[in-house]
Structure 1
């Protein structure tokens, strides 16, 4: 138990505001032991009393909150032991001059830290502001030069911000610099990697700390394997882990102090694993070249295997054959080993390759320089014979590239079919006449003949009127449209209320009962989704006169079947630039024939304007009201309505469009 308290004191006993709890618990534990000692055993009791007095003295020398109350408790305890002390004063000279000096210094240190404690304990601080206050506190403790107190404030900070990787890196770097080795460092790294496993730098430093602490190979390997299971932000972090692992294996393999015997195959397996994992993601990069250069060097110096070193370079060139630096590094290794023939064969393999920039010319000149320094006259002549046509070929390619003008960036064509159509119609002076003639021809094939007296039907009547065998032509336009299959019924909304936010369970009988006190309900139309057939929570109610309609509108916002119903008058405006229609059950696919402009109805030269245009209504300007509702732009997706969203009335929709 004493060992546990002694470990708790450096871990939490220097906490300025909470450290008293550790010291008080320690004293209570020892005083409990004192109570169990027999009074006749004077020697053991004196020994226990001295142990409690020592804890008091240590406590009074630490800058903690409420030291004055601790001093009073100490003097009270000393009085019980028979020492005559003045409880009301701060004088400890009668106890021990050293304790008095230490307590005075502790009180002064607490006064210097009081404002820092106040800053980190302020309420209403943001996380960034509080974090900055902690960092100011840490810098202050570092200037004091007490590692125990610095470690204590770091522990308070990481307890407050356990997933701050920058804070953990700062903390562990301080421990590495100050403590060098010890369980405190490895324990801190273990917590850091558990709190921030996505930081590769922490894992690499963890491996180094384990190596400094002379950890076993099994422990280091377990940490390395665990690090590879984490997800890092870049492949460079994985590369750093692999290199750190290889560095440790190499150092321990060459160390004479190592008790364990390590096999070089462990280094080779680590390199191979790193190459297999990183090569697809780091192809043609200097980092991958550095990995393989390190690997080949260890194969030569530790593995003593030249064939394996060459195999390392060959495997790299298969993956990154376009890297000029990789070929140069391979050649430099052979030249350094004195293998001139092998270096020459590498030049022969790569001088015809294409490299970035001036790399192709550089490898050719490098071959010539190599033969000048290491080859015979025949080797030089052979190299010149091979390199000269290659250099001439590269020169011509450069000249061709320089003479080719740089094309300006292509301007993307506007994806506007209407504009393209207008531009085509303006292609020539007779384009408009030709287009008009085509429309006349199309009209003559589709339209019925005009009677001899010069009378003509309107566009809508021409489409809807049908002859019956033995009977005359049907004169009622609405009856003809209703009889036509697939043609939705048209409503004028002359005395109609629009209901929204209806319960989907509402039926016509329920709506009729809701307006029972108002009366005058002529018909009810509940709108359904045209794809699913389910109610949309909307309805139209026709009334016999405006008086009953006004009475019905007054009931808006009242509860109906568990929902606040919205009621508004449906009275669509009509004019030249606005066409309002409403299909059966809200489908919105049929036009109101009463909206046909007077200009289209007037006969001109025995035919209507609509007939002259082949029954096509031309929309001019920016009027988009004539576009069918079921036409959606490319890529349009129907947004899902919110559950709390109230459907808008016709007037609300109309106001939205007019504002735009």
Structure 2
């Protein structure tokens, strides 16, 4: 092989030299023939060559640093092919093919170059070997067709015809089911057999001999068989193949073949929509292929499932999930060794950064009995693949260590496999310390999972507790001594395989070092002494636990005080910011009011005659749509300043609306939104419905009819007629209400529907549908970091292993999407503590979850006396109309009232004067506090006279 390789390299070098000499001769001939070659053109050509050579060297250096740079490989091959560097081109292609599967275009270019270089007979075997590599990367009908056509050129050699047929048969097995491109391979195979038929037919007019007739019949049968096989599978344009068979066959198409053809035609029609969607879709067509695969998986034909996966992977070779689905299907369904292992190999070559694919590959190799050296080589390639996360290296090491552990026969005290396992554990720790931590600047195994497994193997299988203790000492020195679950894990190991002395030592150290759950560790120590210890041991344990807990409580109190001080400081800063913001806002309002006053002075006195001197009262306002002259129209209403206004006065300007009218309109709308109070016990309130819900009354009626007879379903709409997302449902009987409340959180058009009792909060102000606890709940745990796909049942199944689960509540957004949080309630505090210790850090569906005792933060802090919050609570809420506060609402006062009325702190009769609701003072500020006593027009007259 070395001699052959050297000969090939020599041949390539000779060909490169010949090509260079030919270029020089062409250049000389051109000069002799008078072709103009300027010095500038030669210099440009030389410059281009130098630039290309420099770029080639740069790409080669980059690949020497990172061999997995796919684009760099592609660019290097293009440049070398452009420059005609045949020897370096072949070497570059070989290096790339060792790391990555090559695309159809790269393979075809390589094959065509090699075919031109190896036209002599002795070198055909090298091209055959190259074709064999090419057909293993992807399912490519064009490569198979090129392979078969190339083999036809060598059919003159011994066994050449059989080799051609063997290649065609393999091509049909690989791509014959390809609905759009498989037909070309079938037709090429039939053309070859038709050509062979012409060689065995006797000349016209001569009767064939018996041997010739047998050869002729055999060849005809081959062609018949090809037609029958092709017509039995669904392919595009198979009608043309059937017509061709009818024309070719002298005896017509047999009934069995016709029946198979019709069935295949129906299958083709069922899949035609998928094929057409693939034709019109833009690459990579992932969604279209996924729908196609779902259909084939449902049909259950392994051959068609395989070809569909292969077609999808040819266009989505860099999608790890696609490879995972394919290899998982092969592992669980087909279980064919060559097919499974080759697919796993292609998967990791396409997506080397995906740890899960390497892990599955190692398991598949072990499952199919691969040699130990092969598995070790694959593992070494995985370490050099360049994973994205530090934890990926921990997982791949764990997979390899599990394989090595399964090889060991622990019945023997010492063996080669056991030594290899220990060496691998040591190497993994060194690898995680040097390579992984230096690369990611973090520990990929903070909990020292690998060391824990090693310690357990030493204790369980090797009965070597001394080594296990050394490992646990190393674990604790890596920052894990402050966690109770780590100490309890070590204690359980000593309890199972050690002795009481070391158990006691471990628990005493745990009491001194644990920071997260010291109470639980102290309880475990006391329980241990109750079972194992003497009175002296008990006294020591009690003294140590009390001292430790007292110190912990002091630290917690100091920490709580510190946090309270920080919260107080933050609150003071926030208060200062609010005051500064309020002052700035008031300043802007004052400037705006002054500008409005100046503008108002320049306008005509439109409202000089606003007041009726005879009645000394404000004019009357319209009341809805009542007709003038009616009793309803003549009825007076509250004026702007709390007085009743008679009829007969001019209305205000168009668009003018008082604050009282705005409050009345808002109250009217709120009253319309309320249910009938006498039917509250028979009603439920529905909320969180989609605003775009069509026909909400009909849908709610359909949904709640199962709970009992309905009396009324009343959705609430806005003034514009749009649905506001909530409604009231009233039943005939109160017994239907509990059934309706069970429909709470049921999804309606993708949103969870909230169902709550219908209670009048005016008569029941303290009523709360549900209030979450805001204090520590020691019997309940809080779980975070859950995968969004985790269901309540799955979490409950995990928690059952640690105690009796009373309730599981997944926390979601109002839209129903999960937050990845949950509360799990246990029967008692001990079970909850045990669940925290065992579940914290657990990996659930590739997510590492965090578990702690439930201690929700306080949601609402009581406002301190004198703070702005208390002042805000005392201010009445100002209600405006449906359009908000109109500009004309502030201009109904006589201009004289806009003048300064004296200092703000001036008191009359011992009572400080307050601004009036809906008015503007001299500074432009709006008064928000209403007068406790309405002012009459005479009061206003005195104000005007005393100005």
> Closer, same or farther in 2 for the Cα pair 1:287/1:23, shift >3 Å?
farther
Question: Are residues 1:178 and 2:337 paired?
Answer: no
Separation in structure 2 between the aligned mates of residue 183 and residue 286 of structure 1, nearest angstrom: 35
Q: What is aligned with 2:499?
A: 339
Task: Give, in whole Å, the separation in 1 of the partners of 2:441 and 2:467.
Answer: 22
1:234 Cα deviation after fit: 2.1
Question: Counterpart in 1 of 2:423?
Answer: 269
The residue aligned with 2:347 is: 192
| Other-structure match for 2:541 | 383
Q: Where does residue 116 of structure 1 map in the other structure?
A: 274
CA contact (8 A) 2:484 2:514 kept: no
> Does the aligned pair in 2 maintain the 1:34–1:45 contact within 8 Å?
yes
Distance in structure 1 (CA, Å) of the matches to 2:249 and 2:290: 41
1:429-476 Cα deviation digits (max 9, x unpaired): xxxxxxxxxxxxxxxxxxxxxxxxxxxxxxxxxxxxxxxxxxxxxxxx
Cα distance between partner residues in 1 of 2:529 and 2:218 = 88
CA drift of 1:204 comes to 0.9
Residue 59 (str. 1) matches residue 230 (str. 2): yes
Offset at residue 149 of structure 1 (A): 0.8
1:263-316 CA-to-partner distances (Å, cap 9, x unmatched) read: 022322333333334465798998734433322222234444332222222221
RMSD (CA atoms): 3.0
SS in 1 for 2:513: coil
State the match for 2:459 in structure 1: 300
Note if contact 1:181-1:209 (Cα within 8 Å) is conserved in structure 2. Answer: no
Give the corresponding residue for 2:169. 6
**1:352 aligned counterpart, secondary structure:** helix
C-alpha spacing 1:278/1:397, structure 2 compared with 1 (3 Å) = same
1:233–1:284 Cα change, 3 Å? closer
Q: Distance in 2 between matches of 1:46 and 1:323?
A: 84
**CA shift for structure 1 position 8:** 2.1
> SS of 2:188's equivalent?
helix
1:323/1:355 contact within 8 Å kept:
yes
Q: How does 1:246-285 map to 2 (within 5 A)?
A: 246-253=401-408, 263-278=417-432, 280=437
Call closer, same or farther: CA 1:384–1:236 in 2, change over 3 Å: same
204-213 vs 274-283, which moves further:
274-283
SS in 1 for 2:417: coil
Residues 34, 219 of structure 1: alpha-carbon distance in 2 compared, 3 angstrom cutoff: farther
Q: Provide Cα deviations, 1:554-608, integer angstroms capped at 9, x if missing partner.
A: xxxxxxxxxxxxxxxxxxxxxxxxxxxxxxxxxxxxxxxxxxxxxxxxxxxxxxx
In structure 2, the residue matched to 1:239 is: 394
Match of 1:98 in 2: 256
Shift of 1:150: 1.3
For structure 1, list consecutive stretches of 5 or more residues without a partner in the other structure.
86-91, 413-660
Deviation for aligned residue 1:398: 2.4
Task: Check the 8 A contact 1:264/1:303 in 2, yes or no.
Answer: no
Distance of 1:126 and 1:70 partners within structure 2: 30
Write out aligned runs for 1:156-555 (5 A): 156-253=311-408, 263-278=417-432, 280=437, 288-319=447-478, 320-356=480-516, 359-404=517-562, 405-408=564-567
Distance 2:352 2:541 in 1: 55
1:324-351: CA deviation from partner (whole Å, max 9, x where unpaired)? 2222111111111251111112223332
SS in 2 for 1:230: coil
- Shift in CA distance, 214/34, structure 1 to aligned 2, threshold 3 Å: farther
CA distance in 2, matches of 1:134, 1:255: 49
The corresponding residue for 2:190 is: 27
* Structure 1 residue 114: Cα displacement: 1.4
Partner of 1:327, secondary structure, is: helix
8 A contact 2:460–2:497 mirrored in 1: no
Task: Flag structure 2 segments of 5+ consecutive residues without an equivalent.
Answer: 1-162, 203-208, 574-947
Q: Which has the larger displacement, 277-286 or 208-217? A: 277-286
> Which deviations, in whole Å up to 9, do the C-alpha atoms of 1:194-233 show, x marking residues without a partner?
1111111111111112122211111111111111112223
Structure 1 residue 181, shift from structure 2 partner:
3.5
The alpha carbon displacement at 1:255 in A equals 11
Contact 1:10–1:148, Cα closer than 8 Å, also in 2: no
Question: Aligned in 2, Cα 1:340/1:219: closer, same or farther, shift over 3 Å?
Answer: same
Once residues 25 and 238 of structure 1 are traced to their aligned partners in structure 2, the CA distance between those partners, rounded to angstroms, is 49
User: Does residue 1:50 correspond to 2:221, yes or no?
Assistant: yes
The verdict on how the C-alpha distance between 1:289 and 1:282 changes in structure 2, with shifts beyond 3 A counting, is: farther
What is the CA–CA distance in structure 2 between the aligned matches of 1:324 and 1:5, rounded to whole Å?
A: 67
Distance 2:278 2:472 in 1: 57
Distance in 1, matches of 2:193 and 2:176, equals: 17
Q: Deviations over 1:341-387 (max 9, x none)?
A: 1111222333222523xx23332332222111222222212222333
Distance (Å, rounded) in 2 between the aligned partners of 1:177 and 1:344: 48
CA distance in 2, matches of 1:355, 1:120: 60
- 1:174/1:337 Cα in 2 relative to 1: closer, same or farther (>3 Å)? same
Distance in 1 (alpha carbons) for counterparts of 2:298 and 2:374:
36
- The answer to whether the Cα contact below 8 Å between 1:181 and 1:213 also exists between their aligned partners in 2 is no
Is contact 2:410-2:462 (8 Å) kept? no
Using the TM superposition, give the Cα deviation of residue 110 of structure 1 relative to its aligned residue in structure 2, in angstroms.
1.0
Once the 2 structures are TM-superposed, how far is the Cα of residue 32 of structure 1 from its aligned partner? 4.2
Q: May I ask how many residue pairs the two structures share in their alignment?
A: 391
Partner of 2:902: none
Q: Does structure 2 conserve the Cα–Cα contact (< 8 Å) formed by 1:193 and 1:203? A: yes
TM-score by length of structure 2 reads 0.39
- Tell me the equivalent position of 2:93: none
TM superposition score normalised by structure 1: 0.55
Which secondary structure state, in structure 2, belongs to the residue aligned with residue 263 of structure 1?
helix
Per-residue deviation at 1:35? 4.5
- Determine which structure has greater relative contact order: mean sequence separation of CA pairs < 8 Å that are 6+ residues apart, divided by chain length: 1
CA distance in 1, matches of 2:304, 2:453: 43
CA contact (8 A) 2:459 2:497 kept: no
Provide runs of 4+ in structure 1 moved above 6 Å. Answer: 281-287, 409-412
